[in-house]
Each structure stands twice: as C-alpha cells, then as structure tokens.
Amino acid sequence: MTEKLSIGIDCGCTNIKGGIVDRDGRVIARSSLEIAGATEALDVVTLVARLMRELAGSRPLADFSIGCGFPGIVDHERGRVLSSPNFPKWRDVPIRDLLAEIIQLSPAIDNDANLHAIGEQRFGAGQGRKNLVFLTLGTGIGGGIIIDGELFRGDSGFAGEIGHMIIEEGGELCGCGRRGCFERYGASHAFELFIRRMDLKERTAYLAKAGSSIEGVTPAIVARLADSGCEQSLKMWKEFGRNLGRGIAMVMNVLGIESFVIGGGIARSFDLFAPAVRIEIQNGTYKENAERIQFLPAVLGEDAGIIGAAVIGHK
Amino acid sequence: MTEKLSIGIDCGCTNIKGGIVDRDGRVIARSSLEIAGATEALDVVTLVARLMRELAGSRPLADFSIGCGFPGIVDHERGRVLSSPNFPKWRDVPIRDLLAEIIQLSPAIDNDANLHAIGEQRFGAGQGRKNLVFLTLGTGIGGGIIIDGELFRGDSGFAGEIGHMIIEEGGELCGCGRRGCFERYGASHAFELFIRRMDLKERTAYLAKAGSSIEGVTPAIVARLADSGCEQSLKMWKEFGRNLGRGIAMVMNVLGIESFVIGGGIARSFDLFAPAVRIEIQNGTYKENAERIQFLPAVLGEDAGIIGAAVIGHK
C-alpha cells in the first residue's frame, strides 16, 4: 500500500490555510490565501479549490486524500455547512458538492474546532489518549469531543457546543442571542466584562495602562501587562481561569473524560490561567476525578486544523 | 446457537430485585429480597447470590448469563464498587470477585443508573435510538449515557455524574459536600428548597395543606396536591421543570444527543414538569437542536434495572 499524502484545508473567516500532510501528521508543505471579503459560499469554495491546486502543484488532486474544515455548524455526513457565524449568508450550504463540482473529487468536511481536536488527539497534546475534550478559546469557545479515538458529533453534528452552555442565568448577552453562555466568561469577551466591573477610577487607570478603549483590550494586552507584574491583569487571568474551570468541571461531570486540551489564541497565555482552572476543577468534581484530569495546552498551534483536516481526508 | 437466558440483578439500598430476562428484554420471572440493614459488602453480596440461586431454581447458575447493578461509582472493567452513597463503608470493593467466590461465576457489574439507561435504550422509551441520555430522578439525579448503542463510561467509569454539575455557584449544599449541584434543584430536595423560599404565611398554609413538616413533603405529596388544582404545587412543578430543563440543555450543548429519557420515582409526575422542561430546552440550546430533542418518560419502570443488568450479562 502506498502512503497517500493528504491535503488539509482550514478555512477561517479572514484566510484559508492549507498544507500537505503525511501519515505521521507532519506538514511537509504549506500555503494560504486571503479571503478578502468574499462572503458567498461559491466564492469561498473557489478560493479553497485554488489553494488545493496550488498545494498539489504539478500532481493531479486525485493523488491526494483531501479534508477541509469550515467554521460553524457542519453536517459532516451530508457535507453541508448549516450555519456559520463568520459567513452569515450561509444557510444549509452543500459545501462538499460545490467543491466536488470544481475539483471533481468529494472531500471530507467538518467543523474547524472538531478538526483541531482530532489533530491534537492524533499528533499533538492528546497523543495516546482515546478520549479527549478540546476547547479552542478565541472570541468564542469552540469544542471538539473525541471518544474512542474518533470525533463524536452527536445526533446531528451539534456535539461540542460547550461555549453555549448557559452558566449564568440572565447573565451576559451572547452572540447567539441568549444570555449567560460559557463563552462570555471563558473567552476573549470575558476581559471586557472584567474591566466593565471595575469601579470608575480603577477602570480609567487600567485603560490608561493598556493604552486602549474597553473594547480594544485584547487577551494579548492583558497577558503582556500580567507578565510585567500588573496586579489587576493577574487578577483578571485568575478570574478567567476560574470561569473556564467551572465549565470544564461541568463537562467532566457529564462525560467522565479526563483529558482537556486548550487551543486557540488565548492558549498562548496558558500559564497565566491554568492554576486557577486546576483549582476550580478540584472544587467542581469528585476528588477521584480531579486527581486524574490532564489539563494541557495544545501543541500544534495553527497547524492543528490542517492536520485534523488531513486526518479526516485520509479516511 | 441457543438463546441463553439471563439473570439481571438490581441492588438498591433497601432491597435487591432480580429477574430472568430473555433475549427480547422480557422479564419472565421475578423475585426480590430485603437487605434488612446489611451494610458489609460480603453480606450484601451473599444476599445477591441467594437471590440468583432462587431465580435459577433447579437449574445451575452456569446456564444463565448474569449481570448486576449496584448504586454508586462502579468500575465496570475491574468489577469494583469504588464508593456508594448507600453503603458508606464500601471503598473500592471487589464486588465481582466476592460474587465469583460464592457462585463460581464472574458476572458483569455496573452502576444502577447505567443499567436503567441501557434497559430503556434497548427495550424501553429509547428503542431504536443509538444515542441517549437517561436521567433517573429520586433523592439525587443519576445519569447514564448511551453512545452508538453502548454505555459510555468515560475514562474511569465516572461518566454521567450529571447530578453533580454545579449549576449555581455558592448554592444549596449537596450530599457530595459541594454547593449548587444540579441534583439539589432537579430532584426531590428541590421541593424542600421551594417551600423554604416561601414567605412564612404561605409556607404555613402550604404545610397545613400537605399535612407534613418541610422535610416530609415528598414529590408524591406535591403531585397529589397539584393534581387537585393547588396553585402553589403547580408552580413548584413548573419551577422544578425549569431547573431540570436548564441542566438538560447544558448536557445537550455538550453532547449533541437528542434523546433524553427520564426515570426514577419522580418520573411518575412527568406530565406536571415536562412542559416547563421543554420551554427551558428551547431557551438553552440552538433552535435547530431544540426542535429535534425527544424528551420522554421511561416506560420500563423498576424493571429497567433488571433488564439492563441482563443486557450487560449477555455479553
């Protein structure tokens, strides 16, 4: 049997990343394209196909197995994107068929967080663990659940919507239209919330230090200030970790899965929030459980999406 | 191949129920024994073995496949009960080996809520559904998760501890020692909480109507009063349903499983709380999800534990 190479594509909201990946999860070639304002599914899919051809070079695409990740709620079985926060016009779009018309091949598609999860489980922080929960922390919280080495998608592809567990009734308004969702407290918007809760004097001083408006304070800014010893910033990361830990403990109680891998931009500050997460896991689960939980940072970075896409392509 | 019959045992805190179950999930003989104060594992196991022999009658036990359910945290793989709220002395007890010494056979063992789940999924309310969450509502909330037709036990047998998700930080004290666990709001203790929250006048009038102290007000009493049109009781069931629905929506967001089956004593009042649960599921999950959720009462009643035990025995 020849070791067929795979092309993995990770379609985000501003750009499309792709790579050629071997059976050992190594990315042996990379490329990317800017989406540059395209919003129609056909336009985005055309860009995806262009990137695939660029990666394949002089070889025909049929020489590769191909997988693609898209943001949003993806029906893996039917190859459709049901909805996508990044592409609001997309409603039950037959992405796989659109792609197949252009490239004459039918790639596997899935949700991007799911692909990060499978990438990290096979070749990253979760190697060797058969069950794993992956959380990607950015403007929201994406989730991917691996059971027995395979992605668990639930009955209709909705598994892993962990960011939309309501953890505070009547709490902060979420992009999904509901209030109190986990991702308002354990992703980037949490910092805006923490700053709004400061008293006026404290807030003014903090924003001066950050050199930003409330809305402009990114986790990266809070991390930079924390690294330079800013007490308020350290406190915010602790609060962030507590919130994240509460949600993780809930998921642990439901699933009894002991490996949690954290990816996404905010994972770069893992050491700033991990201690508080671990304490909250202790508080929120049985002692026997808490002792076994592995709470780990992702290790593949942005490659996880490409590698995960390659893995589902291989099938 | 002969259709081997199975003996299923459901060991509770006050009595042990058993039955002979055929391959179609029919209980063709039944018996039970009172535990009558036995607390040592060896004494309970001896009673379990006696019930098995009684069920087998003149046939040798080896003619049957055998499964047993025990309350508490059970390590199915190793055949041990790690801890049990009903038998506080039990700490990592090798139940399967103790049984094997008496009956010279090694039965399958599992947690009782898991066995109710598998019973209902194979032969009850969940027939034909490959994924299912079963919740048993009594003094606590037990949970069993079925994925792809099999019990999902998590990494160490702790999956389904849904009753101990903390849904209200700093909330009601739970038997597990933590505060705000789901089972304080969505199982029998919830009614005590609702009554304590009434103002003194309202509470006094209610307890007079119930003919009971606060601690003595059971879900059955509240159901009887609700059925006779008592506004306060109807309101309590609605509040109960809201709490239950919040927790179910959380689990739905994590797992994307669309079938929820409710068993346990409180399920007898299903019609009193189900409407509020359904509204809360709508509020707490994506619209696309909420439309698909099947929220159903268990149909096997107390037999579910025996039938589920028989199913794991068959393996």
Predicted confidence (pLDDT) at residue A310 exceeds the cutoff of 60: yes
Predicted confidence (pLDDT) at residue A86 exceeds the cutoff of 90: no
What percent of chain B has a predicted confidence (pLDDT) above 90? 84
Residues B263-296: pLDDT tens digits?
Answer: 999 999 999 999 999 999 999 988 777 888 999 9
The whole-number average pLDDT for the span A72-85 is 88
Residue B22: count other Cβ atoms within 10 Å of its Cβ: 13
Higher local confidence (pLDDT), A37 or B24:
B24
The whole-number average pLDDT for the span A19-28 is 96
Contact B250 A82 (CB under 8 A): no
Predicted local confidence at residue B304, as pLDDT: 95
Q: Which residues contact A101 (CB under 8 A, 6 or more apart)?
A: none
Residues A41-68: pLDDT tens digits?
Answer: 999 999 999 999 999 999 999 999 999 9
- Closest listed residue to residue A254, CA positions, set B240, B144, B16: B144
Helix then strand then coil, % of chain B, to nearest 5: 45, 20, 35
CA-to-CA distance for B43 and B37, rounded, in angstroms?
A: 10
Residues B207-259: pLDDT tens digits?
Answer: 999 999 999 999 999 999 999 999 999 999 999 999 999 999 999 999 999 99
The reported pTM is 0.91
Contact B257 A161 (CB under 8 A): no
CA-to-CA distance for B63 and A120, rounded, in angstroms?
A: 47
Predicted confidence (pLDDT) at residue B153 exceeds the cutoff of 60: yes
The whole-number average pLDDT for the span A117-132 is 96
Predicted local confidence at residue B101, as pLDDT: 96
Q: Cα dihedral angle (A231, A233, A235, A239), rounded to 10 degrees?
A: 180
Task: Identify which of B157, B250, B259 has the shortest CB distance to residue A166.
Answer: B250
Q: Which residue of B has its CA nearest to A181?
A: B284
Residues B164-181: pLDDT tens digits?
Answer: 999 998 999 998 889 999
Closest CA of chain A from B78, distance in Å: 16
| Chain B interface includes A156 (CB < 8 A) | yes
The whole-number average pLDDT for the span A193-213 is 96
Task: Identify which of B155, B165, B178 has the shortest CB distance to residue A283.
Answer: B178
Predicted confidence (pLDDT) at residue B1 exceeds the cutoff of 80: no
Predicted local confidence at residue A8, as pLDDT: 97
Predicted local confidence at residue B37, as pLDDT: 85
Radius of gyration over alpha carbons of chain B, in Å?
20
Write out the H or E segment, with its range, that includes residue A56.
Answer: helix A41-56
Contact A154 B257 (CB under 8 A): yes
The whole-number average pLDDT for the span B12-31 is 94
Predicted confidence (pLDDT) at residue A2 exceeds the cutoff of 90: no
Q: Tokens 């994307």 identify what position?
A: B256
CA geometry: angle B146, A82, A161, nearest 5 deg: 45
Predicted local confidence at residue A1, as pLDDT: 41
| Chain A interface includes B246 (CB < 8 A) | yes
The whole-number average pLDDT for the span B196-201 is 96
The DSSP bridge partners found for residue B15 are B34
Predicted local confidence at residue B286, as pLDDT: 80
Predicted confidence (pLDDT) at residue B46 exceeds the cutoff of 90: yes
Contact A286 B131 (CB under 8 A): no
| Chain A interface includes B230 (CB < 8 A) | no
Predicted local confidence at residue A287, as pLDDT: 78
Confidence of residue A225 (pLDDT cuts 50, 70, 90): very high
Predicted local confidence at residue B287, as pLDDT: 78
Write out the H or E segment, with its range, that includes residue B261.
Answer: strand B259-263
Predicted local confidence at residue A85, as pLDDT: 74
Q: What residues of A are in contact with residue B252 (Cβ under 8 Å)?
A: 158
Residues A258-306: pLDDT tens digits?
Answer: 999 999 999 999 999 999 999 999 999 887 778 889 999 999 998 999 9
